[in-house]
């Protein structure tokens, strides 16, 4: 079903989301309504599409001080309620990845659409329902605990899915420069796998990419003695790189992996030995490795095979790890109480903006909805999970700040 007009939209939301206002879950409908409004504001990275203003309006109304931080056209904000420590902070992003080919979607990716208890739309899982749950959890918490201990904060960016240069990284620089600390940070990224709350991330692997150019000499395939084929030069080195066991991981991390993402050579003509080969690769690495060590290993393998190359490195993030502590204990207990399962504490998956926050000394965990459809066509979330997540966020705040 699709929302055509505003009135259809309203009546549909009422019919579907009506909850007895006396029940403690009356706010659930507020979470879903806010999530749908956010999805309806297209915000393909690094655009924000007005999502942050909507969040800011709601947070300011319940006593948060707002600081808008715009860097090179990228919108971010820092919101804080309270002046004391400990500081509990929700972190997340309003930007989404492109929808991809529209015809692949069953409904308009920027029209929040409900079918069979699922809410569809770009950002439904990654991570506009998480943002909505943060805002309504804050509203509900502040209403029942206006004089909570410590501070509640939100660090929101619209540059997570893209370059991640003018987003969380920059906001953290501002906070660090004035000595403002986050003690506990809950990132609302979709961390769950099969069931809401089955996985809480307590760290992430590092990500190191390389752009490799192998230099050869172009020539006629019939006269290889007059040429130097960069494909042939790289092949045995590549075999070493892809079969290498980098490490065995450790108690908290999967083993380090090496993957080639792009490989290009050739002029298009079948009778020409190419003069150059370009490759891109990525290492996802555990805390068993260092960036310097990985670079040295790759370069020594290329050198051992006598390859003439240039290599540029790009570090997306070092691995980070939050040892089990108050924050992971509170989030786990909240999931146990609200969902009835015990979450696994994991460091798997891709990188997140937690990589910029953890180095400040903050405890960082990630807890959000199921990630099975993120970045895909027909991205969706189970509607009941949105309310459950909101209650888990609320319970986490109660455990830490009351
Ligand atoms: Zn995300």
Q: What is the pLDDT of residues 315-362, one digit of tens each?
A: 988 899 998 899 999 999 999 999 999 999 999 887 789 999 999 999
Per residue in 291-312, pLDDT tens? 999 999 999 999 999 999 999 9
φ, ψ at 157 (rounded to 5°):
-130, 165
Tell me the CA–centroid distance for residue 96 and ligand 1, in Å: 7
Is the pLDDT at 3 greater than 90, yes or no?
Answer: no
Average pLDDT of the segment spanning 210-230: 98
Tokens 């609302």 -> residue: 188
Residue 283: which residues within 8 A CB-CB, separation 6 or more?
A: 206, 207, 208, 209, 210, 246, 256, 257, 258, 259, 289, 294
Average pLDDT of the segment spanning 205-228: 97
Per residue in 78-110, pLDDT tens? 999 999 999 999 999 999 999 998 899 999 999
Per residue in 153-181, pLDDT tens? 999 999 999 889 999 999 999 999 999 99
The catalytic site residues sit at: 95, 160
Tell me the CA–centroid distance for residue 135 and ligand 1, in Å: 17
- CA 178: distance to chain centroid? 26
- What pLDDT shows up at residue 351? 78
Point out which residues pair with 315 in neighbouring strands: 208
Its pTM stands at: 0.83
Tell me the CA–centroid distance for residue 353 and ligand 1, in Å: 9
Q: Near ion ligand 1, which residues have CB within 5 Å?
A: 126-127, 189
């Amino acid at each position: 079903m699709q929302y055509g007009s505003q009135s259809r939209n309203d009546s549909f939301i009422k019919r579907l989301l009506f909850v007895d206002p006396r029940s403690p879950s009356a706010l659930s409908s507020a979470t879903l309504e806010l999530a749908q409004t956010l999805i309806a504001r297209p915000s393909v990275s690094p655009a924000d599409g007005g999502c942050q203003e909507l969040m800011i309006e709601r947070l300011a109304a319940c006593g948060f001080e707002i600081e808008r931080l715009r860097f090179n056209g990228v919108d971010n904000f820092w919101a804080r309620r309270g002046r004391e420590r400990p500081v509990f902070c929700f972190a997340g992003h309003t930007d989404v990845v492109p929808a991809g080919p529209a015809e692949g979607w069953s409904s308009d990716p920027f029209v929040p659409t409900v079918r069979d208890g699922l809410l569809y739309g770009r950002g439904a899982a990654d991570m506009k329902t998480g943002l909505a749950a943060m805002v309504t959890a804050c509203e509900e918490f502040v209403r029942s605990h206006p004089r909570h201990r410590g501070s509640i904060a939100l660090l929101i960016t619209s540059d997570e899915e893209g370059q991640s240069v003018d987003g969380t990284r920059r906001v953290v620089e501002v906070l660090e420069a004035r000595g403002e600390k986050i003690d506990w940070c809950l990132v609302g990224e979709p961390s769950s796998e099969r069931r809401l709350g089955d996985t809480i991330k307590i760290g992430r692997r590092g990500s190191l990419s390389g752009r490799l150019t192998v230099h050869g000499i172009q020539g006629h395939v019939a006269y290889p003695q007059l040429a130097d084929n960069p494909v042939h030069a790289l092949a045995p080195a590549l075999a070493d790189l892809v079969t290498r066991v980098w490490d065995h991981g450790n108690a908290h991390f999967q083993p380090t992996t090496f993957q080639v993402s792009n490989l290009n050579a050739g002029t298009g003509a079948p009778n020409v030995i190419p003069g150059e080969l370009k490759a891109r690769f990525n290492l996802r690495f555990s805390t068993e490795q260092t960036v310097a060590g990985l670079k040295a290993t790759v370069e020594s393998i290329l050198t051992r095979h006598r390859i003439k190359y240039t290599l540029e490195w790009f570090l997306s993030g070092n691995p980070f790890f939050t040892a089990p502590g108050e924050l992971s204990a509170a989030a786990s207990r909240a999931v146990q109480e609200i969902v009835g399962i015990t979450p696994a504490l994991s460091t798997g998956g891709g990188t997140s903006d937690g990589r910029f926050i953890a180095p400040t000394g903050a405890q960082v965990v990630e807890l959000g909805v199921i990630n099975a459809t993120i970045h895909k066509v027909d991205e969706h979330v189970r509607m009941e999970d949105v309310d459950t997540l909101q209650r888990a966020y609320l319970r986490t705040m109660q455990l830490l700040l009351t």
